[in-house]
Amino acid sequence: MPYQTVKGTYDLLPDTMIRFNMLSDLFRQFLNLYGYGEIKTPVFEFTGVFQKENDTSDMVTKEMYTFSPNGKDSLTLRPEGTAGVIRSFVENKLYGVNELPVKLGYIEEMFRHERPQKGRQRQFTQMGVECIGDKDPLIDAEVIALGYFFIKTIGLQGVKVLINSLGDSESRLGYRKALEDYFGPHKEELCFDCQNRLHKNPLRILDCKIDSGKELVKQAPKMVLSEASAEYFEKVKHYLDVLGIPYEVDDRLVRGLDYYTDTVFEVVSTNEASGSQATIFGGGRYDDLVKEMGGPQISGIGFAIGVERLMILCEAEEIFDIKKTLDCYIINLNDDKDYALAVAEELRNNSFSVEMDYYKRSLKAQFKSSERKNARFVLIIGEDEVRDDVVTVKDTLTKAQETVARNELTDRLDQLMEDYYE
Ligand code: HAM
Protein backbone atom coordinates (compact mmCIF):
# COMPACT_ATOMS: atom_id res chain seq x y z
CA MET A 1 0.00 0.00 0.00
CA PRO A 2 1.71 3.24 -1.08
CA TYR A 3 0.27 5.54 1.59
CA GLN A 4 -0.84 4.69 5.10
CA THR A 5 -1.73 6.56 8.27
CA VAL A 6 1.24 7.40 10.46
CA LYS A 7 1.75 4.95 13.35
CA GLY A 8 -0.46 5.93 16.30
CA THR A 9 -2.94 7.86 14.13
CA TYR A 10 -6.17 6.60 12.59
CA ASP A 11 -9.09 7.57 10.39
CA LEU A 12 -12.57 8.07 11.79
CA LEU A 13 -14.85 6.69 9.07
CA PRO A 14 -18.51 7.79 8.71
CA ASP A 15 -20.03 4.92 10.77
CA THR A 16 -17.65 5.64 13.66
CA MET A 17 -18.22 9.38 13.34
CA ILE A 18 -21.90 8.83 14.27
CA ARG A 19 -20.82 7.63 17.72
CA PHE A 20 -18.10 10.29 17.97
CA ASN A 21 -20.62 13.05 17.18
CA MET A 22 -23.20 11.69 19.60
CA LEU A 23 -20.61 11.76 22.38
CA SER A 24 -19.54 15.29 21.37
CA ASP A 25 -23.17 16.50 21.28
CA LEU A 26 -23.85 15.04 24.71
CA PHE A 27 -20.67 16.57 26.12
CA ARG A 28 -21.69 19.98 24.73
CA GLN A 29 -25.07 19.57 26.44
CA PHE A 30 -23.24 18.93 29.71
CA LEU A 31 -21.05 22.01 29.17
CA ASN A 32 -24.24 23.99 28.78
CA LEU A 33 -25.91 22.42 31.85
CA TYR A 34 -22.99 23.46 34.06
CA GLY A 35 -22.52 26.93 32.53
CA TYR A 36 -19.38 26.33 30.44
CA GLY A 37 -18.57 28.16 27.22
CA GLU A 38 -16.68 26.34 24.46
CA ILE A 39 -13.16 27.42 23.52
CA LYS A 40 -10.85 26.52 20.63
CA THR A 41 -7.16 27.19 20.93
CA PRO A 42 -4.51 26.65 18.24
CA VAL A 43 -3.22 23.16 17.53
CA PHE A 44 0.34 24.41 18.00
CA GLU A 45 1.76 26.86 20.50
CA PHE A 46 5.19 28.14 21.48
CA THR A 47 6.90 25.24 23.25
CA GLY A 48 7.19 27.25 26.47
CA VAL A 49 3.40 27.13 26.90
CA PHE A 50 3.73 23.42 27.71
CA GLN A 51 7.30 23.18 28.94
CA LYS A 52 8.16 24.79 32.25
CA GLU A 53 11.53 24.88 33.95
CA ASN A 54 12.23 21.70 35.90
CA ASP A 55 9.30 19.88 34.33
CA THR A 56 9.62 16.17 35.04
CA SER A 57 6.51 14.64 33.44
CA ASP A 58 7.00 12.08 30.63
CA MET A 59 4.60 14.08 28.50
CA VAL A 60 6.78 17.19 28.51
CA THR A 61 10.21 15.59 28.64
CA LYS A 62 9.73 12.75 26.14
CA GLU A 63 6.48 12.88 24.21
CA MET A 64 6.09 16.29 22.63
CA TYR A 65 6.08 16.90 18.87
CA THR A 66 8.32 19.94 18.74
CA PHE A 67 9.50 21.60 15.55
CA SER A 68 11.01 24.80 14.30
CA PRO A 69 9.76 25.84 10.86
CA ASN A 70 12.04 28.87 10.62
CA GLY A 71 15.01 27.61 12.64
CA LYS A 72 14.22 30.23 15.30
CA ASP A 73 10.88 29.65 17.03
CA SER A 74 10.31 26.41 18.88
CA LEU A 75 6.72 25.26 18.37
CA THR A 76 4.90 22.23 19.78
CA LEU A 77 1.74 20.37 18.77
CA ARG A 78 -0.41 20.53 21.89
CA PRO A 79 -0.02 17.39 24.02
CA GLU A 80 -2.92 18.43 26.31
CA GLY A 81 -5.54 21.16 26.54
CA THR A 82 -5.03 22.86 29.89
CA ALA A 83 -1.87 24.84 29.15
CA GLY A 84 -3.28 26.36 25.93
CA VAL A 85 -6.55 27.31 27.64
CA ILE A 86 -4.67 28.99 30.50
CA ARG A 87 -2.41 30.80 27.99
CA SER A 88 -5.57 32.08 26.32
CA PHE A 89 -7.19 32.99 29.66
CA VAL A 90 -4.15 35.10 30.54
CA GLU A 91 -3.48 36.54 27.06
CA ASN A 92 -7.11 37.61 26.60
CA LYS A 93 -7.33 38.75 30.22
CA LEU A 94 -10.54 36.76 30.64
CA TYR A 95 -10.25 37.31 34.40
CA GLY A 96 -10.70 41.06 33.88
CA VAL A 97 -13.90 41.02 31.85
CA ASN A 98 -15.74 38.03 33.26
CA GLU A 99 -17.14 37.09 36.60
CA LEU A 100 -14.96 34.40 38.22
CA PRO A 101 -14.77 31.51 37.91
CA VAL A 102 -14.45 31.47 34.14
CA LYS A 103 -15.71 28.11 32.87
CA LEU A 104 -14.29 26.82 29.58
CA GLY A 105 -14.78 23.53 27.77
CA TYR A 106 -13.16 22.02 24.68
CA ILE A 107 -13.16 19.05 22.33
CA GLU A 108 -9.79 18.97 20.62
CA GLU A 109 -7.08 16.81 19.14
CA MET A 110 -3.90 16.23 21.16
CA PHE A 111 -0.53 14.81 20.11
CA ARG A 112 1.87 12.73 22.18
CA HIS A 113 4.72 10.57 20.95
CA GLU A 114 3.80 7.56 23.08
CA ARG A 115 4.10 3.85 22.34
CA PRO A 116 0.78 3.15 20.58
CA GLN A 117 -1.52 0.43 21.86
CA LYS A 118 -5.26 -0.07 22.33
CA GLY A 119 -6.58 3.16 23.86
CA ARG A 120 -3.26 4.95 23.46
CA GLN A 121 -2.59 6.86 20.25
CA ARG A 122 -0.19 9.52 19.10
CA GLN A 123 -3.08 11.68 17.94
CA PHE A 124 -6.16 11.49 20.15
CA THR A 125 -9.12 13.62 21.17
CA GLN A 126 -9.86 15.05 24.58
CA MET A 127 -13.11 16.49 25.87
CA GLY A 128 -12.08 18.75 28.69
CA VAL A 129 -13.10 21.54 31.03
CA GLU A 130 -11.22 24.18 32.96
CA CYS A 131 -12.90 26.17 35.73
CA ILE A 132 -10.59 29.07 36.50
CA GLY A 133 -11.08 31.57 39.27
CA ASP A 134 -12.13 30.79 42.78
CA LYS A 135 -10.73 27.98 44.86
CA ASP A 136 -13.55 26.28 46.68
CA PRO A 137 -14.20 22.59 47.43
CA LEU A 138 -17.69 23.04 45.98
CA ILE A 139 -16.13 23.82 42.59
CA ASP A 140 -13.92 20.72 42.78
CA ALA A 141 -16.96 18.55 43.47
CA GLU A 142 -18.98 20.22 40.71
CA VAL A 143 -16.22 19.66 38.14
CA ILE A 144 -16.01 15.97 39.11
CA ALA A 145 -19.83 15.83 38.92
CA LEU A 146 -19.85 17.17 35.36
CA GLY A 147 -17.51 14.42 34.18
CA TYR A 148 -19.04 11.66 36.27
CA PHE A 149 -22.66 12.32 35.32
CA PHE A 150 -21.64 12.69 31.66
CA ILE A 151 -20.15 9.19 31.81
CA LYS A 152 -23.19 7.86 33.70
CA THR A 153 -25.59 9.41 31.17
CA ILE A 154 -23.75 7.63 28.37
CA GLY A 155 -24.66 4.48 30.29
CA LEU A 156 -21.20 2.96 30.81
CA GLN A 157 -21.06 0.20 33.41
CA GLY A 158 -18.22 -0.45 35.86
CA VAL A 159 -17.04 3.12 36.31
CA LYS A 160 -15.04 4.08 39.40
CA VAL A 161 -14.02 7.52 40.70
CA LEU A 162 -10.63 7.72 42.42
CA ILE A 163 -9.67 10.85 44.31
CA ASN A 164 -6.69 12.06 46.27
CA SER A 165 -5.19 15.27 47.56
CA LEU A 166 -1.63 16.27 46.70
CA GLY A 167 -1.88 19.03 49.29
CA ASP A 168 -0.96 22.70 49.11
CA SER A 169 2.63 23.86 48.65
CA GLU A 170 3.27 23.55 52.41
CA SER A 171 2.15 19.89 52.47
CA ARG A 172 4.03 19.10 49.27
CA LEU A 173 7.32 20.61 50.44
CA GLY A 174 7.24 18.38 53.51
CA TYR A 175 6.30 15.36 51.39
CA ARG A 176 9.06 15.98 48.85
CA LYS A 177 11.58 16.05 51.65
CA ALA A 178 10.19 12.81 53.14
CA LEU A 179 10.39 11.08 49.74
CA GLU A 180 13.90 12.35 49.05
CA ASP A 181 15.04 11.06 52.45
CA TYR A 182 13.33 7.72 51.85
CA PHE A 183 14.49 7.09 48.27
CA GLY A 184 17.94 8.76 48.63
CA PRO A 185 19.75 5.73 50.11
CA HIS A 186 18.11 3.44 47.48
CA LYS A 187 18.82 5.62 44.45
CA GLU A 188 20.55 2.78 42.58
CA GLU A 189 17.38 0.68 42.72
CA LEU A 190 15.41 3.28 40.76
CA CYS A 191 15.21 3.53 36.98
CA PHE A 192 17.34 6.09 35.16
CA ASP A 193 14.47 8.62 34.90
CA CYS A 194 13.51 8.30 38.56
CA GLN A 195 17.11 8.88 39.61
CA ASN A 196 16.76 12.26 37.87
CA ARG A 197 13.31 12.83 39.37
CA LEU A 198 14.58 12.19 42.90
CA HIS A 199 15.66 15.76 43.47
CA LYS A 200 13.50 17.50 40.86
CA ASN A 201 10.10 15.99 41.68
CA PRO A 202 10.18 12.82 43.78
CA LEU A 203 6.35 12.53 43.66
CA ARG A 204 6.73 11.49 40.05
CA ILE A 205 8.49 8.28 41.17
CA LEU A 206 5.17 7.09 42.62
CA ASP A 207 3.52 6.88 39.18
CA CYS A 208 6.58 5.85 37.16
CA LYS A 209 5.63 3.20 34.58
CA ILE A 210 8.79 1.22 35.47
CA ASP A 211 9.23 1.74 39.21
CA SER A 212 5.71 2.03 40.62
CA GLY A 213 5.33 -1.79 40.89
CA LYS A 214 8.50 -2.17 42.99
CA GLU A 215 8.15 -2.95 46.71
CA LEU A 216 10.44 0.00 47.48
CA VAL A 217 7.92 2.38 45.91
CA LYS A 218 4.90 0.62 47.41
CA GLN A 219 6.40 1.07 50.91
CA ALA A 220 7.19 4.78 50.39
CA PRO A 221 5.85 7.19 53.03
CA LYS A 222 2.40 8.65 52.51
CA MET A 223 1.54 12.31 52.13
CA VAL A 224 0.68 14.13 55.34
CA LEU A 225 -1.65 16.97 54.45
CA SER A 226 -1.44 20.38 56.10
CA GLU A 227 -4.42 21.26 58.26
CA ALA A 228 -5.83 23.55 55.56
CA SER A 229 -5.45 20.94 52.81
CA ALA A 230 -6.92 18.17 54.95
CA GLU A 231 -9.94 20.34 55.73
CA TYR A 232 -10.30 21.28 52.05
CA PHE A 233 -10.20 17.61 51.01
CA GLU A 234 -12.80 16.67 53.64
CA LYS A 235 -15.14 19.28 52.19
CA VAL A 236 -14.61 18.01 48.63
CA LYS A 237 -15.57 14.52 49.81
CA HIS A 238 -18.57 15.93 51.67
CA TYR A 239 -19.89 17.63 48.53
CA LEU A 240 -19.33 14.44 46.50
CA ASP A 241 -21.48 12.64 49.11
CA VAL A 242 -24.15 15.32 48.78
CA LEU A 243 -24.09 14.83 44.99
CA GLY A 244 -24.38 11.05 45.40
CA ILE A 245 -21.09 10.36 43.62
CA PRO A 246 -19.40 7.18 44.86
CA TYR A 247 -15.60 7.48 45.12
CA GLU A 248 -12.55 5.74 46.49
CA VAL A 249 -9.68 7.63 48.07
CA ASP A 250 -6.48 6.39 46.44
CA ASP A 251 -3.50 7.85 48.27
CA ARG A 252 -1.15 6.69 45.48
CA LEU A 253 -2.90 8.76 42.83
CA VAL A 254 -0.45 11.50 41.83
CA ARG A 255 -1.36 12.05 38.11
CA GLY A 256 1.16 12.33 35.31
CA LEU A 257 1.50 16.10 34.96
CA ASP A 258 3.46 18.48 37.15
CA TYR A 259 1.00 21.33 37.71
CA TYR A 260 -1.43 19.67 40.14
CA THR A 261 -2.08 20.83 43.72
CA ASP A 262 -4.69 19.66 46.27
CA THR A 263 -7.52 17.69 44.63
CA VAL A 264 -6.68 15.16 41.91
CA PHE A 265 -9.01 12.54 40.48
CA GLU A 266 -9.40 9.88 37.82
CA VAL A 267 -12.35 7.94 36.52
CA VAL A 268 -11.43 4.40 35.58
CA SER A 269 -13.35 1.59 33.89
CA THR A 270 -13.38 -1.96 35.17
CA ASN A 271 -14.55 -3.23 31.75
CA GLU A 272 -11.83 -5.50 30.40
CA ALA A 273 -12.37 -4.07 26.90
CA SER A 274 -10.32 -1.05 27.96
CA GLY A 275 -7.25 -3.31 28.34
CA SER A 276 -4.33 -1.70 30.12
CA GLN A 277 -5.64 1.83 29.44
CA ALA A 278 -8.45 1.88 32.00
CA THR A 279 -8.38 5.59 32.82
CA ILE A 280 -11.26 7.26 31.02
CA PHE A 281 -10.47 10.67 32.36
CA GLY A 282 -8.29 12.50 34.79
CA GLY A 283 -7.85 15.93 36.19
CA GLY A 284 -7.19 18.06 39.20
CA ARG A 285 -6.62 21.47 40.68
CA TYR A 286 -3.72 23.71 39.73
CA ASP A 287 -3.02 26.65 42.06
CA ASP A 288 0.01 28.10 40.31
CA LEU A 289 -0.39 27.52 36.58
CA VAL A 290 -2.14 30.84 35.82
CA LYS A 291 0.62 32.73 37.66
CA GLU A 292 3.33 30.72 35.90
CA MET A 293 1.76 31.71 32.57
CA GLY A 294 2.04 35.39 33.49
CA GLY A 295 -1.42 35.93 34.99
CA PRO A 296 -2.54 36.74 38.52
CA GLN A 297 -2.43 34.20 41.37
CA ILE A 298 -5.69 32.48 40.44
CA SER A 299 -6.39 28.79 40.94
CA GLY A 300 -8.14 26.50 38.49
CA ILE A 301 -9.40 22.96 38.21
CA GLY A 302 -10.30 20.77 35.26
CA PHE A 303 -10.24 17.36 33.67
CA ALA A 304 -9.94 15.77 30.25
CA ILE A 305 -11.69 12.69 28.94
CA GLY A 306 -9.97 10.48 26.37
CA VAL A 307 -12.56 10.17 23.61
CA GLU A 308 -10.97 7.13 21.95
CA ARG A 309 -11.10 5.25 25.26
CA LEU A 310 -14.76 6.22 25.59
CA MET A 311 -15.39 4.96 22.05
CA ILE A 312 -13.77 1.58 22.83
CA LEU A 313 -16.02 1.18 25.87
CA CYS A 314 -19.15 2.35 24.02
CA GLU A 315 -18.45 -0.17 21.27
CA ALA A 316 -17.90 -2.99 23.78
CA GLU A 317 -21.14 -2.10 25.59
CA GLU A 318 -23.05 -1.45 22.33
CA ILE A 319 -23.86 2.13 23.30
CA PHE A 320 -24.75 4.65 20.59
CA ASP A 321 -24.65 1.80 18.09
CA ILE A 322 -26.66 3.66 15.49
CA LYS A 323 -26.73 3.18 11.74
CA LYS A 324 -27.10 6.08 9.36
CA THR A 325 -30.66 6.45 8.10
CA LEU A 326 -32.28 8.29 5.23
CA ASP A 327 -35.78 9.78 5.01
CA CYS A 328 -36.36 9.26 1.27
CA TYR A 329 -34.73 7.34 -1.54
CA ILE A 330 -35.97 8.31 -5.01
CA ILE A 331 -36.18 5.58 -7.62
CA ASN A 332 -36.25 7.17 -11.04
CA LEU A 333 -37.32 4.98 -13.97
CA ASN A 334 -37.14 7.68 -16.67
CA ASP A 335 -34.31 8.71 -18.98
CA ASP A 336 -35.14 12.28 -18.09
CA LYS A 337 -33.94 13.04 -14.56
CA ASP A 338 -35.36 16.57 -14.24
CA TYR A 339 -38.57 15.66 -12.42
CA ALA A 340 -36.80 13.42 -9.85
CA LEU A 341 -34.12 16.05 -9.29
CA ALA A 342 -36.72 18.77 -8.65
CA VAL A 343 -38.67 16.54 -6.21
CA ALA A 344 -35.44 15.71 -4.34
CA GLU A 345 -34.60 19.38 -3.91
CA GLU A 346 -38.16 20.28 -2.78
CA LEU A 347 -37.91 17.60 -0.10
CA ARG A 348 -34.47 18.72 1.05
CA ASN A 349 -35.78 22.28 1.30
CA ASN A 350 -38.31 20.87 3.74
CA SER A 351 -35.62 19.13 5.82
CA PHE A 352 -36.05 15.58 4.52
CA SER A 353 -32.78 13.80 3.84
CA VAL A 354 -32.90 12.50 0.27
CA GLU A 355 -30.78 10.41 -2.04
CA MET A 356 -31.65 9.42 -5.58
CA ASP A 357 -30.45 7.14 -8.30
CA TYR A 358 -27.95 8.86 -10.58
CA TYR A 359 -27.58 6.21 -13.27
CA LYS A 360 -31.05 4.82 -14.19
CA ARG A 361 -30.23 1.33 -12.94
CA SER A 362 -32.81 -1.47 -12.81
CA LEU A 363 -35.73 -1.16 -10.40
CA LYS A 364 -34.28 -4.06 -8.38
CA ALA A 365 -30.85 -2.43 -8.07
CA GLN A 366 -32.42 0.84 -6.96
CA PHE A 367 -34.54 -0.93 -4.34
CA LYS A 368 -31.38 -2.64 -3.06
CA SER A 369 -29.73 0.81 -2.68
CA SER A 370 -32.71 2.12 -0.72
CA GLU A 371 -32.39 -0.87 1.65
CA ARG A 372 -28.63 -0.42 2.08
CA LYS A 373 -29.18 3.23 2.90
CA ASN A 374 -31.92 2.46 5.46
CA ALA A 375 -34.47 4.67 3.68
CA ARG A 376 -37.76 5.19 5.52
CA PHE A 377 -39.67 6.05 2.31
CA VAL A 378 -39.00 4.89 -1.23
CA LEU A 379 -40.38 7.34 -3.80
CA ILE A 380 -40.95 5.83 -7.23
CA ILE A 381 -41.03 8.08 -10.27
CA GLY A 382 -41.95 6.51 -13.61
CA GLU A 383 -43.50 7.93 -16.79
CA ASP A 384 -47.03 8.01 -15.27
CA GLU A 385 -45.89 9.96 -12.20
CA VAL A 386 -44.23 12.64 -14.32
CA ARG A 387 -47.30 12.92 -16.57
CA ASP A 388 -49.73 13.23 -13.62
CA ASP A 389 -47.38 15.35 -11.44
CA VAL A 390 -47.49 12.79 -8.61
CA VAL A 391 -45.09 10.49 -6.77
CA THR A 392 -45.62 6.87 -5.68
CA VAL A 393 -44.67 6.59 -2.02
CA LYS A 394 -43.75 3.29 -0.42
CA ASP A 395 -43.52 3.31 3.37
CA THR A 396 -40.81 0.75 4.25
CA LEU A 397 -42.09 0.32 7.81
CA THR A 398 -45.79 -0.28 7.12
CA LYS A 399 -45.14 -1.62 3.59
CA ALA A 400 -48.13 0.49 2.41
CA GLN A 401 -47.93 2.18 -1.01
CA GLU A 402 -49.91 5.18 -2.29
CA THR A 403 -49.84 7.87 -4.92
CA VAL A 404 -49.41 11.42 -3.66
CA ALA A 405 -49.72 14.73 -5.53
CA ARG A 406 -46.33 16.41 -5.76
CA ASN A 407 -47.55 19.61 -4.08
CA GLU A 408 -48.84 17.56 -1.12
CA LEU A 409 -45.80 15.32 -0.78
CA THR A 410 -44.03 16.92 2.20
CA ASP A 411 -47.26 17.23 4.22
CA ARG A 412 -48.15 13.63 3.50
CA LEU A 413 -44.70 12.32 4.51
CA ASP A 414 -44.90 14.34 7.75
CA GLN A 415 -48.34 12.83 8.38
CA LEU A 416 -47.14 9.25 7.74
CA MET A 417 -44.25 9.75 10.18
CA GLU A 418 -46.54 11.18 12.85
CA ASP A 419 -49.16 8.44 12.43
CA TYR A 420 -46.55 5.74 12.79
CA TYR A 421 -45.24 6.98 16.12
CA GLU A 422 -48.65 7.69 17.64
P1 HAM B 1 -4.05 13.33 31.16
O2 HAM B 1 -4.26 12.39 32.29
O3 HAM B 1 -2.69 13.41 30.60
O4 HAM B 1 -4.54 14.76 31.67
O5 HAM B 1 -5.06 12.97 29.99
C6 HAM B 1 -6.44 12.92 30.22
C7 HAM B 1 -7.05 11.75 29.49
O8 HAM B 1 -6.72 11.80 28.11
C9 HAM B 1 -6.56 10.37 29.95
O10 HAM B 1 -7.25 9.94 31.09
C11 HAM B 1 -6.85 9.51 28.74
O12 HAM B 1 -8.21 9.10 28.75
C13 HAM B 1 -6.63 10.48 27.60
N14 HAM B 1 -5.30 10.25 27.00
C15 HAM B 1 -4.11 10.70 27.42
N16 HAM B 1 -3.12 10.29 26.60
C17 HAM B 1 -3.71 9.55 25.62
C18 HAM B 1 -3.23 8.84 24.47
N19 HAM B 1 -1.95 8.83 24.14
N20 HAM B 1 -4.13 8.20 23.70
C21 HAM B 1 -5.46 8.20 24.01
N22 HAM B 1 -5.97 8.86 25.07
C23 HAM B 1 -5.11 9.52 25.88
C24 HAM B 1 -4.49 15.86 30.90
O25 HAM B 1 -4.26 15.89 29.73
C26 HAM B 1 -4.88 17.13 31.66
N27 HAM B 1 -4.76 18.28 30.77
C28 HAM B 1 -6.27 17.01 32.23
C29 HAM B 1 -6.65 18.23 33.01
C30 HAM B 1 -7.45 19.24 32.59
N31 HAM B 1 -6.20 18.53 34.21
C32 HAM B 1 -6.72 19.71 34.56
N33 HAM B 1 -7.45 20.15 33.60
C-alpha span between 68 and 64 (Å, rounded): 13
- Quick one: pLDDT at residue 53? 80
Distance of CA 257 from the midpoint of ligand 1 (Å): 9
Q: For residue range 201-249, what is the model confidence (pLDDT) as tens digits?
A: 888 898 887 888 888 988 999 989 999 999 999 999 999 999 999 999 9
Looking at ligand 1, which atom is closest to the CA of residue 309? 12
Ligand 1 atom at shortest distance from the alpha carbon of 121:
20
Q: Residue 96: pLDDT band by 50, 70, 90 thresholds?
A: confident
| Residues with a CB atom less than 6 Å from ligand 1 | 80-82, 112, 114, 119-121, 124, 126, 128, 130, 256-257, 279-284, 302-304, 306, 308-309
Mean pLDDT of 279-307: 96
What b-and-e string marks burial along 148-159, b requiring 16 or more CB atoms within 10 Å of the CB?
bbbbeebebeeb
Cβ atoms of residues 39 and 108 within 8 Å? no
Distance 148 CA to ligand 1 centre (A): 15
pLDDT of residue 210: 87
Residue 114 CA: nearest ligand 1 atom is 19
Q: Give the span between the Cα atoms of 344 and 323, in whole angstroms.
A: 22
> Residue 343 CB: number of other CB atoms within 10 A?
22
**Per-residue pLDDT band at 310 (split at 50, 70, 90):** very high
- In which band, very low, low, confident or very high, does the pLDDT at 134 lie, cut at 50, 70 and 90? confident
Q: Give the pLDDT score at 117.
A: 93
For ligand 1, atom 12, name the residue with the nearest CA.
306
Alpha carbon dihedral 122, 124, 128, 130, in 10-degree steps, equals: 30
pLDDT at 74: 97
Amino acid (1-letter code) at residue 66: T
For the entire predicted model, the pTM comes to 0.93
Ligand 1 atom closest to 286 (CA): 32
Q: What percent of the chain has pLDDT over 70?
A: 100
Question: Which of 52, 78, 110 has the most ligand 1 atoms within 8 A of CB, as the residue to mutate?
Answer: 110
For the CA of 130, the nearest atom of ligand 1: 33
User: What pLDDT score does 346 carry?
Assistant: 98
Which residue has the CA at smallest separation from atom 21 of ligand 1? 120
The rounded Å distance from CA 80 to ligand 1 centre is 7
- The pLDDT confidence band at residue 119, using thresholds 50, 70 and 90, is very high
Segment among 62-66, 269-273, 297-301 with least mean pLDDT: 269-273
Which residue pairs from 366-375 have beta carbons closer than 8 angstroms and sit at least 24 positions apart in sequence?
A: 366/329, 366/331, 366/332, 367/331, 369/329, 370/326, 370/329, 370/331, 370/396, 373/324, 373/325, 373/326, 373/329, 374/323, 374/324, 374/325, 374/326, 375/325, 375/326, 375/327, 375/328, 375/329
pLDDT(422) > 80: no
From ligand 1's centre to the CA of 400, what distance in Å? 52
Highest-confidence segment of 39-48, 197-206, 277-286 = 39-48
Q: Select from 272, 257, 276, 308 the least CA-distant residue to 83.
A: 257
Nearest alpha carbon, ligand 1 atom 20: 120
Tell me which residue has its CA closest to atom 30 in ligand 1.
303
Going from the Cα of 112 to the center of ligand 1, the distance in angstroms, rounded, reads 10
Q: Output the CA–CA distances (angstroms, integers) from residue 372 to 115, 196, 228, 352, in the order listed.
A: 39, 59, 63, 18
Would you give the distance in Å from CA 309 to the centre of its chain? 9
The reported pLDDT for the residue numbered 285 is: 97
| Ligand 1 pocket: which of 6, 64, 117, 257 to mutate (most atoms within 8 A of CB) | 257
Mean pLDDT of the chain: 94
Question: If we measure between CA atoms, which residue out of 375, 419, 379, 367 comes closest to residue 403?
Answer: 379
pLDDT at 88 over 80: yes
pLDDT for position 97: 82
Looking at residue 47, its pLDDT comes to 97
Strands (E), 188-325: 248-249, 261-269, 279-286, 299-306
Report the atom number in ligand 1 closest to the C-alpha of 281. 10
Instruction: Please state the rounded mean pLDDT for residues 347-370.
Output: 95
Q: Return the residue whose CA atom lies nearest to atom 25 of ligand 1.
A: 80
Separation of CA 328 and ligand 1 centre (Å): 42
In tens, the pLDDT along 15-25 reads 999 999 999 99
